[in-house]
A and B are shown apart, each in its own frame.
Chain A
Amino acid sequence: MNWTTICAYEALLPERGVCALVEGTQVAIFRTYEGELYALGNLDPFSGAYVLSRGIVGTRKGEPTVASPLHKQVFSLVTGRCLDDETVSVPSYPVRVGDDGRVEVSLEQRVEVGV
């Protein structure tokens, strides 16, 4: 897998997102309260605006989520699926903390999820 280094892990605040530009693709990266990382496409499919990284991070029935800041549809951070409209989803990308303590993402979309 091809990993791109983004920023220091500490640059991410708990329960907030940031946006990274990776080879022209906008990737929203989130850090949960427990410290796990997730990455989704930044494009909000409902509004057509690149804003998902600015949504509120939380949980729904235990599943980590982000809510679109424009019209509040909720997406699973794990799968990218919209939990308010199952016909809609956003891409979900692999993300990890590299050996040097920096956050890395890969643009190779996850097909099977369950990490």
Chain B
Amino acid sequence: MNRIVVVGYGPTAHRLVETLAGKGFGGTVTVIGEEPRPAYDRVHLTSYLSGTSAEDLTYEVPAGITTRLNTRVTGIDREARQVTLADGGVEPYDVLVLATGSAPFVPPVPGAEHAYVYRTIEDLDAIRTAAKDAVEGVVVGGGLLGLEAADALRALGLKAHIVEMSPWLMPRQVDEGGGSVLKSHIEGLGLSVHAGAGVQEIVTDDAGQVTGLRKPDGTLIEAQVVVFSAGIRPRDELARSSGLEVGPRGGIVVDAGMRTSDPAIYAIGECALAGGMVYGLVGPCNTMAEVAADRIMGGASAFEGADMSTKLKLLGVEVAQFGAMDGALDVTYMDPVAGVYKKLFISDDAQTLLGGICVGDASPYTSLRPFVGKALPASPSDLLFSGAGAQLDLPDEAQVCSCNNVCAGDIRTAIADKGVTDVPGLKACTRAGTTCGSCVPMLKQLLEKSGVEVSKALCEHFTYSRAELFDIVRVRGITTFSELITQHGQGRGCDICKPAVASILASLHNGHVLEGERAALQDTNDAFLANIQKNGTYSVVPRIPGGEITPEKLIVIGEVARDFGLYTKITGGQRIDLFGARVDQLPEIWRRLVDAGFESGHAYGKALRTVKSCVGSTWCRYGVQDSVGMAIALELRYRGLRSPHKLKSAVSGCARECAEARSKDFGIIATEQGWNLYVGGNGGFKPRHADLLANDLTTDELIRTIDRFLMFYIRTADRLQRTSTWLESLDGGLDYLREVIMEDSLGICADLDAQMERHIATYADEWAATLDDPDKLSRFVSFVNAPGVPDPSIVFASERGQIKPVMAQ
């Protein structure tokens, strides 16, 4: 029993070898996989298209495991106990484990050979290449993977269609009611859904290029890319050809110990037929791998079926299903306006929870899934309507993480006995939360309930979170860093806490950021009121509110750039960035700009950057409100507002949304009746569409709501937490935010309003103030002992008629 050979190197094989290595298996383990790399995370495969590299997705091969990649196994010689390889070699075994997974099902329709599938990194490479020249794409299959593929096509810039045989989307996870809510969400995003439709053929032109997909009713969906995601088929071909028992509809038959009809051969993962079922989710596949590892090492654990619950966020919509999908009784909550559908299935005596379906709001999944098969913890209507679920205490045996089969009791043990105090610790110790991540909110709850102080310490100098420090500064009336750190911290601070405290002091007291001791707290950008660049020079961004500028002012910018030899570029924030200034040039540059009526654009600060605007109703034939006027008013209102992170905004004059307001921290879109306000949007590394906070607001209502939104964010966010992540981490989310700032549920609105009034009343342009202060100006030198000497290390070359930095080494 000392030579184990594993066929296939997918996630299940990885879990097997990892478990064997962890248990100290003494023999040799050889994994043979046909893909060019070790196992990788398929669950997060789609992130490959948004920039996660293949290396990031790939798992580390455990020490002591031999791998043979790029190698397909072509046969099993059960007599000789060896497998044969495509390259002609053989590999002898004492124990063989088949972990060959599954292959996407491609229906045998004409033209199917031109379609793509969505399973491997190479598949995604092929789709990405094909999408380059395509305008529209179709995904066949409206299940979990199909929607994910459709989202990917959309992210690649295609207009995406989904064709689903069943009358509604995700038929395995949701019922008809849920399907209709899901459909309207997805259509709202600009995808088209063709439910109850099949595929007649994939149509190509004479050159063999795909031009569309014909439905059985004869209609054609135009598309240049077709992706099949119409189910999976277990890869049982090796088992078949070697005479192992397979199921009538495929899958290698195994017993509860994952053994096939040959006792020397195991099968695990998506290729196995366990208890008459093929499992297409990582959770059960991991459990199978752990059972097989245990059996191989002489244990007796058994695979007894698995929870097929799923929760995912597809196209920004939460969809979840847990437990059974029917029952004697059911209770439904449906809000078509908000796009929420929640349903619970209950036993006929109304005592036991059987399962549930959620679309648009998956909170019941998190709170109620552990209660499946158990007594209802509260009345169904309370559970669905009031969100009472979040406060429940989970029984120890309740499963918290279905991907890794971890129960509430395991988490409590980790906290109590192993002293784990945070989510990363729980992940390392129990594996919970390491796969799909949907159970992480529950891990946090368990940590909180166990009374563990989750460390929110900002850095080694303060044990408080930013929000706590903000309150300390506000309530105690603290005005300097030294006061704060002597009374509430230790040491002399660092590059983490100093700028954070500087920002808090600026949010609460305004005043000049370079005044007195505050000068020493600032990052170099704030210290020189400009943005540092890679060669130690700075860039200058004057404010151009709403992106509107007169020809005279444009000329001044041009002249300044020319006279100081600066590189100029238009920013994405509708203003102009002037690069390559030495510290000693900054005052001279700003003297010219301030004289011409410009002021600081705060491009260097964690502060309001710009409020972009589209053309708006003044000129645009579609516009319904003056977006430019509104953008200017907002930018002038919030200019100079220091915050936990930068703030960006935009105003669009109609629903066409040319200003891309929904990618902003706060975005405004004009309606016939007024303004819609969206919050928590983000571009960047993790793009997020802003959520609609309120619609059809009057101008006064709009401004009041933004005032409070910003001040509440500034009070409660973590250091460097953008509004998007802040909103996502806010307990109670958007509804809670609405209650606090629109219904004043905490009674703090008057305070927030007053704080904003104070900011507006005390705003002053910090560049103008700096120019008037010889003391502050004296710091703008390259060399303290040679004020007139320029820094000789700064060297430029020329490119496209402008300067570019040259690094010395």
Contacts and interface: CB of A to CB of B under 8 A. Distances in A.
A63 B519 CA distance: 21
Contacts of A51: 524, 532, 536
B77 to A, nearest CB: 53
Question: How many A residues are at the interface, by size bracket?
Answer: 35 or more
Given A19-B784, A21-B786, A50 B493 contact: no
B674 to A, nearest CB: 44
B495 A67 contact: yes
Contacts of A64: 492
Given A20-B785, A49-B534, A13 B520 contact: yes
Contacts of B609: none
Interface string B498-535: 11000000000000000001011111110110001011
A6 B536 contact: no
A72 B525 CA distance: 13
A56 B492 contact: no
B493 A11 contact: no
Contact of A7 (B482, B527, B535, B784): B784
Given A50-B793, A54-B528, A56-B498, A15 B520 contact: yes
Given A16-B519, A21-B789, A69-B523, A59 B491 contact: yes
Given A14-B520, A49-B534, A58 B785 contact: no
Nearest to B482: A33
A52 to B, nearest CB: 10
A70 B784 contact: no
A32 B492 CA distance: 9
A50 B807 CA distance: 10
A20 B519 CA distance: 20
Contacts of A40: none
A29 B532 CA distance: 20
A60 B75 CA distance: 61
Given A15-B520, A50-B793, A69-B532, A58 B783 contact: no
Contact of B808 (A21, A48, A54): A48
B784 A18 contact: yes
A58 B493 contact: yes
Contact of A49 (B536, B779, B786): B536
Interface in A23-77: 24, 26, 29, 32-33, 43, 47-51, 54-62, 64-65, 67, 69-70, 72, 74
Nearest to B793: A50
B460 A60 contact: yes
Contact of A56 (B460, B482, B523): B523
A58 B492 contact: yes
B534 A33 contact: no
Contact of B782 (A19, A29, A59, A72): A19
Interface of A is mostly: strand
B807 A48 contact: yes
A57 to B, nearest CB: 7
Nearest to B536: A49
A67 B494 contact: yes
Give the interface centre of A15, A49, A69, A70 by most chain B CB atoms within 10 Å: A49
A48 B794 CA distance: 11
Given A49-B534, A56-B498, A62 B784 contact: no
Given A32-B492, A54-B524, A26 B793 contact: yes
A20 B787 CA distance: 9
Contacts of A11: 778, 784
A70 B524 CA distance: 9
B684 to A, nearest CB: 18
B791 interface: yes
Contacts of A48: 807-809
A74 B534 contact: no
Nearest to B809: A48
B768 to A, nearest CB: 22
Contacts of A50: 536, 791, 793
A11 B784 CA distance: 8
B524 A16 contact: no
A52 B41 CA distance: 41
B534 A47 contact: yes
Contacts of B793: 26, 43, 49-50
B491 A58 contact: yes
A95 to B, nearest CB: 13
Contacts of A49: 534-536, 793, 807
A41 to B, nearest CB: 12
Interface string B449-492: 00000000000110000000000000000000010000000011
A51 B807 CA distance: 13
B91 to A, nearest CB: 43
A62 B491 contact: yes
A56 B499 contact: yes
B720 to A, nearest CB: 12
B461 to A, nearest CB: 8
Nearest to B520: A15
Given A50-B536, A61-B460, A72 B495 contact: yes
A14 B523 CA distance: 15
B495 A56 contact: yes
A16 B778 CA distance: 14
Contacts of B525: 69
A86 to B, nearest CB: 18
Contacts of A7: 784-785
Given A48-B807, A59-B493, A69-B532, A21 B498 contact: no
Nearest to B522: A56
Nearest to B535: A49
Interface in B734-789: 778-779, 782-786, 789
B784 A20 contact: yes
Given A14-B520, A50-B536, A51-B524, A59 B783 contact: no
A64 B494 CA distance: 10
A92 B779 CA distance: 23
Interface string A88-100: 0000000000000
Contacts of A20: 783-786
A59 B492 contact: yes
B789 A59 contact: no
A40 B520 CA distance: 18
Given A56-B495, A62-B491, A13 B524 contact: no
Contacts of B779: 13
Nearest to A61: B460
A70 to B, nearest CB: 7
A11 B493 CA distance: 22
Interface in B329-376: none
A14 B494 contact: no
A64 B786 CA distance: 27
Contacts of B786: 20-21
B708 to A, nearest CB: 32
Interface in B198-257: none
A54 B527 contact: yes
Give the interface centre of A33, A56, A62, A69 by most chain B CB atoms within 10 Å: A56
Contacts of B535: 49
B471 to A, nearest CB: 23
B288 to A, nearest CB: 43
Given A59-B492, A65-B494, 10 more contacts: A6-B785, A19-B784, A26-B791, A48-B807, A50-B536, A54-B527, A56-B493, A57-B492, A59-B491, A60-B494
6 contacts: A7-B785, A18-B784, A20-B786, A43-B793, A58-B498, A59-B491
The 3 closest A-B CB pairs, nearest first, are A69-B524, A67-B495, A58-B494
Interface of B: 460-461, 482, 491-495, 497-499, 517, 519-525, 527-528, 532, 534-536, 778-779, 782-786, 789, 791-793, 807-809
